[in-house]
Structure 1
Amino acid sequence: MARITVEDCLNHVDNRFDLVLLGTRRARQLAGGSEPLLPWENDKPTVMALREIAAGMLSAEFIAATEQQERNDDTKSLEQALAEELAGDLRGGKVSG
């Protein structure tokens, strides 16, 4: 496992502040179960996020698109669960309110 340096990451990110924000957001995604873009080498999510940044595989746009897709998936799941619950209530004659 190669050591990742800030300089490696700054080749792909404008400044240290953006690096921290990008790394944090990606590490949270990885910890939440998102698929890594590189082979996982028994690293912690933070190290994996930095490895992905240093490899030039991440951008703020990629993270934003991934987060938007996760929100869309969550919304679809909630809508489906609500529709199923409502259909069950209508079949069972229950009326909430």
Structure 2
Amino acid sequence: MVKLIALYRQPEDKEAFDRHYFETHAPLAKKMPGLQKIEVTRISGTPMGGEAEYYLMAEMVFADRAALDAAMTSPEGKAAAKDLMGFAGKLVYMMIGEVVEA
């Protein structure tokens, strides 16, 4: 299993960010072929009690790297990527991770 992970830094307007993310971006991402699940985590702080650098983390789960690659190059994946760059291009850091047993 692999994950496409998006970390979003603190937006200037959290309400506008949330509205676009949950009403526009997430529905686009959910259309990506092969996507098994999206898990979104709102970051609430740090263990030391301060504000975290990041605001939101989204993890999109795929069966394997081939499924992720196919999703990213699909019309749905391209639409989600275009939307992402339009509303959060300066805020987002993307990573790909492989799920392993600990």
More helix by share: 1
The two structures have a TM-score, normalised by structure 2, of 0.25
**Structure showing greater relative contact order (alpha-carbon pairs closer than 8 Å, 6 or more residues apart):** 2
The two structures have a TM-score, normalised by structure 1, of 0.26
More strand by share: 2
